[in-house]
Each structure stands twice: as C-alpha cells, then as structure tokens.
Amino acid sequence: MVTVQNITKDFGPNRAVDNISFEVTPGTILGFLGPNGAGKSTTMKMLTGFLTPTSGTAIVNGYDIIKDPVEVKKRIGYLPESSPAYPEMTMIEFLHFIADCRGFTDVTERAARLEEVISLCHLDNVRNQTVETLSKGYKQRVGFAQAIFHDPPILILDEPTDGLDPNQKHEVRKIISGMAKDKVIILSTHILEEVDALCNRIIIIHNGHIVIDQTPDEIRKELGPKLDEVFRKLTSPAHTS
Amino acid sequence: MNPTITVLKREFAGYFRSPVAYIFLIVFLIASIGLTFFVGNFFDGQTASLQSFFLFHPWIFLFLIPAVGMRLWSEEKRSGTIELLFTLPITTTRAVVGKYLAAWLFLSLAIVLTFPIVLTVGYLGNPDWGVILASYIGSILMAGSYLGICSFTSALTQNQIISFILSVLVCMVILFLGWSIFSDFLSVLFPVWIVDAFSNFSFTTHFDSFTKGIIHLHSVIYFLSVSAIALTLNILALER
C-alpha cells in the first residue's frame, strides 16, 4: 500500500511536482503517464527515497518516506531510468552485491534466489560478462533482476521496457503481470499500448499536476476510445490548467 | 552483513577490476622510491634512516591521492549508479564511510608496499625501528586526511577533472600553511603567534613529529578530525 500525501518538489525556482496525492493498493498496476518533464520520474525518485520532497510525504506499507527511509527502501524494488549498474562488475558479481545489500545472508537461500531471478530474466548466458559489455536489452534485464531480487511488495519501474526489442518487451510485460497479484506496481512509460496491455489504473501527469486518475475502461468511456488521443488532448500545451 | 562492509567490499574489489589500481600502485612506488634516491640523496646522508623517504610523502600525496579520490562520488553521479546505491537500504553515512574506508585501505596497501626500502636500510645499517613504525603510522593517517578532503570534493561535481583540481587546491592550501617558505613569508606580515597558529593546521607540521618517531596524541586527533570533518561535509553534500 502506497499513500502519497500532498507531495511537492522544487528544483530551484522550478516546481517539478506540485502537491500530488494518490493511493495505490496491492494488486494494482499503475501506469504513470505524461510528457517528458511532467514530473513522473521525480515523483518516483521521491517514493524510492532518492530525492527528498520539498513538502508533503508518502507512506509505504506503514513507513514514512521521510522518517523511515531505510525501512521504506527495504520494501521497494526500483528500476531507475537507464538501469544503472556498476560497469566493471560481472553480472553475477553485481547480483551478489545486491543480495548483500538486501540482507540475503543464508548461502542456500541466496543461491536459490539468484538462480530464480537469473532464469526469470533470461540472464543465464551473461553470468560472467561485465556489465559494461552488455547490450542495452541485457542491461535493462539486469536492472530488472536487481529490482525484483528481494521479491518486494512494492515495485517501481521507470520505463521498464525502454530499449527492448518487441520480444523482450513482451517477456518483461509477462513477468510484470505475473507478479502483480499481491504487489503494488507503479510503472512509467511512453508506450500507450503497454498501458493498455498491462495497467488496471492510469495516472496522467502534466506540469507537475495529476490531470487524470482512472481505470483504462473509465477513460475510454468518458473521454474517447483512443488512449493516445486522450493523452494528447490532456497534455497538449493548450491544455495547461 | 553490515551495510558499510558491503559497500567497502564492493568498492575495494572494484579497484582491482580495472588497471587503474595497478597503474596507481606502480606510479606511487616509483615516485616515492625514486624521489628518495634521486632528490633526497638517500646514500649521501650516510645514516640508516628513512627521513629522506618520508620527507616527500606530503608532496606525493598532494597529487596522487586526488587521483584516487576524484572518482569516489563523481563517478557514481556521472554513471547514475548513485541512484541505485541510494535506493538500496543503506544510509548516506554508511555509504560514505564504506567507500572512504575502501579507498583508505587501498592507499594503506600502497604505503605498506614500499616495504623494500625498509628492508634496504635494515640491510645496510641499524635503523631505529620505532621511528620507522611511527613514520608509517603518520603517513597512513595523513593519507586518510587527504582522502577525506578528496572524497568531499568529488561529491560536489560529476566531472572527475574538476574534482581532481578542487582536491589538489584544497590540499595544497592546507599543506602550504606549514611549509617553511610560506610561513617565512607570512611572518613578514603577521606576528609569530598567528603564523604558528596557521602552521598548526598544516599536514606537514603534524607529520614531521611522526617522522622523528614521536606520536603526539594531538597530531593523531588532528588527522582523524580533518577526515571526520571532510566526511561530514561529504554526507551533507550528498543529501538532497
């Protein structure tokens, strides 16, 4: 359960996120949409504890992101945009580092989880390849493996299918919807068909404000049959609220 | 495992995954031993001491430690791994201390690897082992202070070159405060007690007593507090 309460972020004189509130319950795959610079990534970075909000807060499974950042981080799996990883480490070393950070001390449990994640993300043939030599698709999957490693109740994914080929996209979507049952999943994307295929709730954010927060079906019923037309209508420069 | 140790382990192993560590070790050893023989005139002294070896440490550190420290945080910022690190359940303090200790351990290794020169004076004469041990302790402590400053300045930018130049400048100011040529110049302008106060903030003033075999508690505290202050600033610079 994630509850965002009046969260605001300023970067100098610019307000990136302006007084946003929403609540996400387990079982939801929330699609976070909006033009570039709308404040999607900033909101996600605040939820994951990377950025401190200028005002407002969020409660993640009972823990306040400002008062208990470490407890919050234990419960979140996060895939940052462009999925950074230490370039000089091999894939397996990197995942061992993540296992260390996530407190997997039991050797057999750790080994079992490693194998599980490696096969789930199809990383088997790059075990001993350094991260810097991996292709974009593999890098993205290493980032995904890192995010789901500790089987977190909350998963925050910043453009999880960016840079993947159609088959890999399909694969990642399948993994995401397979995990959705009892998790909160928040993902941002620019691919509207992905939202259709995956999400049961949509938030469109524009200039730091939420302009819509509904299910895909409700949006279709009220605003029109085509998501991309709705998106354009709500976020075009003319429509600045 | 303690999160500080996790970060330390990854960082320390990281040095040896690239050629940078080996190049650094080679350059450091050549510079420190080379200066001892060719500039310090080790043999002309006719004494079994390492005075002419440790004499150059503050000057070698001035350039080589920023070379190690410049990438500590600027590289994390540039490559975006800082976002990964700070969304793992690790506090900023533990991350800063872990990375710092890894780099300090690496520098200590470099310093300890100069041991052949110790064997050399031991073979040639009868050195005072206590003085040599004290000098090594002083050198490692001083390296820690240099490194603390470099770690802080590397957190201010994502550009390693800027980070390097900033570190050298800050360390140079602290070093020059105790340099005799500089303090002679100051004594023309200021009364002696001000010049003395200034030189008490310098690395060399405190390091000198170590190289004479004296471990002053206040010098140990000085080096440790320079590191602690720099790391505190480092943590503040990283928290957003």
Q: What percent of chain A has pLDDT over 90?
A: 66
Q: Which whole number is the average pLDDT over B93-113?
A: 96
Q: How confident is the model at residue A238 (pLDDT cuts 50, 70, 90)?
A: low
Lowest mean pLDDT among A79-93, B78-92, B191-205, B208-222: B191-205
pLDDT at B232 over 50: yes
Contact A84 B10 (CB under 8 A): no
Please choose, from the candidates B164, B172, B175, the residue with its C-alpha nearest in 3D space to the C-alpha of residue B72: B164
Query: A52 lies in a domain?
Result: no
Q: What is the ipTM of this complex?
A: 0.91
pLDDT at B235 over 80: yes
Domain of A32, CATH number, reads: 3.40.50.300
Contact B14 A80 (CB under 8 A): no
Rounded to the nearest integer, the mean pLDDT of chain B is 91
Q: Give the 3-state secondary structure of residue B60.
A: helix
pLDDT at A96 over 80: yes
pLDDT at B229 over 60: yes
Q: Which whole number is the average pLDDT over A50-75?
A: 95
Bigger pLDDT: B9 or A239? B9
- pLDDT of B239: 84
Mutation for testing the A interface, residue in B12, B20, B88, B90 having most A CBs under 10 Å:
B88
Rounded to the nearest integer, the mean pLDDT of chain A is 91
Contact A80 B84 (CB under 8 A): yes
pLDDT at B182 over 80: no
B230 and B152 Cβ atoms separated by less than 8 Å: yes
Q: Which whole number is the average pLDDT over B129-137?
A: 95
pLDDT in tens, A100-112: 999 999 999 999 9
- Helix (H) or strand (E) holding A187, with range, is strand A184-188
Bridge-partner residues for A22, per DSSP? A4
Query: A181 lies in a domain?
Result: yes
Q: Which whole number is the average pLDDT over A133-155?
A: 93
d(CA B235, CA A180) in angstroms, rounded, equals: 37
Query: Nearest 5 degrees, angle CA A27-CA A32-CA A35?
Result: 170
Q: Which residues lie below 8 Å from residue B129, measured CB to CB, with a gap of 6+?
A: none
Query: A133 lies in a domain?
Result: yes
Contact A50 B18 (CB under 8 A): no
Q: What percent of chain B has pLDDT over 70?
A: 100
pLDDT at A240 over 60: no
pLDDT at B49 over 90: no
pLDDT at A64 over 90: yes
- pLDDT of A241: 46
- pLDDT of A239: 54
pLDDT at B26 over 90: yes
- pLDDT of B184: 79
Query: A151 lies in a domain?
Result: yes
Helix locations, B55-202, DSSP H = 57-69, 71-79, 81-85, 92-112, 115-124, 129-154, 160-176, 180-189, 192-199
Mutation for testing the A interface, residue in B87, B90, B238 having most A CBs under 10 Å:
B87
pLDDT at A48 over 80: yes
Please choose, from the candidates B180, B206, B182, B175, the residue with its C-alpha nearest in 3D space to the C-alpha of residue B63: B175
Contact B80 A100 (CB under 8 A): no
Contact A70 B90 (CB under 8 A): yes
Query: A50 lies in a domain?
Result: no
pLDDT in tens, A169-203: 888 888 898 888 889 999 998 888 888 888 999 99
Query: A15 lies in a domain?
Result: no
Q: Which whole number is the average pLDDT over A105-130?
A: 93
* Residue A72 distance to chain B (closest CA, Å): 8
> Taking CA atoms, what residue in B is nearest to A104?
B1
- pLDDT of B217: 95
Query: Domain span at residue A150?
Result: 24-38+69-239
d(CA B240, CA B236) in angstroms, rounded, equals: 8
- Helix (H) or strand (E) holding A63, with range, is strand A63-64
Residue of A84, A86, A105 with shortest CB distance to B83: A84
Residue of B80, B86, B89 with shortest CB distance to A82: B80
* Residue B156 distance to chain A (closest CA, Å): 16
How is residue B202 written in tokens? 């310098």
pLDDT at A73 over 80: yes
What is the C-alpha R_g of chain A?
18
The DSSP annotation for B213-228 comes to: T---HHHHHHHHHHHH
Q: How confident is the model at residue A224 (pLDDT cuts 50, 70, 90)?
A: confident
pLDDT in tens, A29-45: 999 998 888 899 999 99
Query: A213 lies in a domain?
Result: yes
A8 CB burial (10 A radius; 0-12, 13-18, 19+):
middle
Q: Which whole number is the average pLDDT over B164-187?
A: 86
Total domains, chain A: 1
- pLDDT of B240: 65
B151 and B103 Cβ atoms separated by less than 8 Å: yes
